[in-house]
Chain A
Amino acid sequence: KNEVEQSPQNLTAQEGEFITINCSYSVGISALHWLQQHPGGGIVSLFMLSSGKKKHGRLIATINIQEKHSSLHITASHPRDSAVYICAVRGDGSARQLTFGSGTQLTVLP
């Protein structure tokens, strides 16, 4: 079993829809990251969370430490949101490396 599981793997939505991407993890963490990867490979950090909820524009990220679960929400989705969204967790041990999920491919149709 992977330490970080994302769902769904692929998601197609119509422009304007509310989108939710889920991330579950099985290890103790010090922080959870949501990343966006566009075609061509570049990765951009969207959020870093250790508790509660963060909002940036149309993006909202939440985390439930007890349930080891996080969600990324996109309100009023737009075709430019089409990308791969990756959840990554930072361990709470001495190493503190990032462990990545396999990503969710989001396609927003006009």
Chain B
Amino acid sequence: EAGVAQSPRYKIIEKRQSVAFWCNPISGHATLYWYQQILGQGPKLLIQFQNNGVVDDSQLPKDRFSAERLKGVDSTLKIQPAKLEDSAVYLCASSLAGSSYEQYFGPGTRLTVT
């Protein structure tokens, strides 16, 4: 069974530029999560989707971050414009159906904003 796929693996941009990350969850998983992990910290949930609907985006900085999962399968996370403090690893995870099920994590995208 293929795992959670993410791309790119690494990205370096200058502040005020835009960037987009892509995630393809495990086939059949209804729930998709985007986490931000700053160096030395645990992951922080940015947004949770159930199929193509948003379940929780309370910690998403909506002035600059946006995410979509239009067809309920793969998802994109965008930052526009980026700030220095956005430098982090962005992790995507998926689970079968909701938060009570085990989450499977992708390899992450390491973003460096200079």
B106 in contact (CB, < 8 A) = yes
Q: Which residues of B sit under 8 angstroms from A96, Cβ to Cβ?
A: 98-100
Q: Which residues of B sit under 8 angstroms from A42, Cβ to Cβ?
A: 105-108
B76 in contact (CB, < 8 A) = no
Q: Which residues of A sit under 8 angstroms from B108, Cβ to Cβ?
A: 40-42
Interface size class of A (residues with CB under 8 A): 20 to 34
Q: Which residues of B sit under 8 angstroms from A45, Cβ to Cβ?
A: 102-104
Give the residue of A41, A95, A100, A103 whose beta carbon is less than 8 angstroms from that of B99.
Answer: A95
Q: Which residues of B sit under 8 angstroms from A43, Cβ to Cβ?
A: 43, 91, 93, 105
Complex interface bits, A37-49 against B, C-beta within 8 A gives 1, otherwise 0: 0001111110010
Asked if A101 and B103 sit within 8 Å, CB to CB, the answer is no
Asked if B40 and A100 sit within 8 Å, CB to CB, the answer is no
Q: Which residues of B sit under 8 angstroms from A86, Cβ to Cβ?
A: 42-43
Q: Which residues of B sit under 8 angstroms from A44, Cβ to Cβ?
A: 105
Known: A41-B91, A43-B91, A48-B102. A98 touches B45 (CB 8 A): yes
Bound Cα distance A98, B44 (Å) = 9
Bound Cα distance A42, B97 (Å) = 21
Q: What is the CB-to-nearest-CB distance from B37 to chain A, in angstroms, rounded to a whole number? A: 8
A22 in contact (CB, < 8 A) = no
Asked if A103 and B42 sit within 8 Å, CB to CB, the answer is yes
Q: Which residues of A sit under 8 angstroms from B40, Cβ to Cβ?
A: 102-103
Q: Which residues of A sit under 8 angstroms from B89, Cβ to Cβ?
A: 41
Please name the residue on chain A nearest to B108 by beta carbon: A41
* Interfacial residues, chain A to chain B (CB-CB below 8 A): 4, 30, 40-45, 48, 86, 88, 90, 95-98, 100-103
Q: Can you show 27 pairs from A to B with CB atoms below 8 A apart?
A: A4-B42, A30-B100, A40-B107, A40-B108, A41-B37, A41-B108, A42-B105, A43-B43, A43-B91, A44-B105, A45-B102, A45-B104, A48-B102, A88-B42, A90-B99, A95-B56, A95-B99, A96-B98, A96-B99, A96-B100, A98-B45, A100-B42, A100-B44, A101-B42, A102-B40, A103-B40, A103-B41
